[in-house]
Amino acid sequence: MEQSIKQENNWAKGKIAFITGATSGFGAALTRRIIAAGGKVIATGRREERLDELVEELGSGQLLTRTLDLTDTDKIEECIKTLPSDFADIDILFNNAGLALGLGGADAANLSDWDTMIDTNVRALVHVTRHVLEIMVKNNRGDIINMGSVAGTYPYVGGNVYGATKAFVHQFSLNLRADLLGKNIRVTNIEPGMCETEFSLVRFKGDKSAADNVYKGMKPLSADDIALTVESVLKLPAHININTLEIMPVQQAFAGFAVNRD
């Protein structure tokens, strides 16, 4: 019994994870879990000071940080192709970085917000995947965890382009499974509902009271709830692939159809 618990705590030993959006929320939480479990992490994000704080907290033995703006696709390729040899053989890709900007109607939306969501949630995600796949296919192993959302399945007012980017991630994940059959690479799309991270602060462009209101009077998921979920998926026996995993707080559910009456 003791031995199996010890193995559990070392589940990431020998694994190298590439994490996008490690400066906050789910990415930072999974970085902590993988390092605690003996694995190595390449942590990326735009905010260099946050990456420095991670190194201060977790040390640099198992952690390599790279300041990376994913909207610059040339920089994505450069980052992955110039990894030092002891971090180059990526086993786990956590395609997590992403954002929602605004919650307004489509007829009044800011086009540059739409472009940023598409460039980050879709374009960057496929570029990262394409480059990391070269490594995984060469090594005949890998785990790709994509961050989808309930917003990719269930429409809501103001979800317009954000939800559409997550619907893309859902279908891209399934299509990856089809293409990668026989290559020993697992692909999972995690689709959460409300989680309290910096997500709403970003959506409402720094308006803290609007962000706090989203989670007022209910218990949302936490960043570590999602990291724990990802850990559970990664720890499953190697022959099991979870295609899609939808997860919500108990205090969140669905609304009905809307009807415009005369």
Bin 9: left if φ > 0, else alpha if -120 < ψ < 50, else beta.
Answer: alpha
**Residue 197 binds which one of ligand 8X3, ligand NDP, none, with CB within 5 to 8 A depending on kind?**
ligand NDP
Taking Cα atoms as reference points, which of 54, 52, 56, 46 lies closest to residue 21?
46
SS3 of residue 191 by DSSP:
strand
> Minimum CB separation from ligand 8X3 for residue 23, in Å?
18
> Minimum CB separation from ligand NDP for residue 83, in Å?
17
- Could you give the CA distance from residue 177 to residue 173 in angstroms, rounded to a whole number? 6
Cβ count within 10 A of residue 62 = 20
User: Cβ closer to ligand 8X3: 62 or 200?
Assistant: 200
Active site residue 162: yes
Residue 149 is a binding residue for ligand 8X3 (CB under 6 A) = yes
User: Cβ closer to ligand NDP: 62 or 189?
Assistant: 189
> Minimum CB separation from ligand NDP for residue 184, in Å?
26
CA distances from 16 to 48, 82, 182, 236, 239 (A): 21, 15, 22, 17, 20
- Quick note: the x/- pattern for ligand 8X3 over 202-241, rule CB under 6 A, is ----------------------------------------
Residues near ligand 8X3 (CB under 6 A): 149-151, 159, 193-194
Catalytic residues: 162
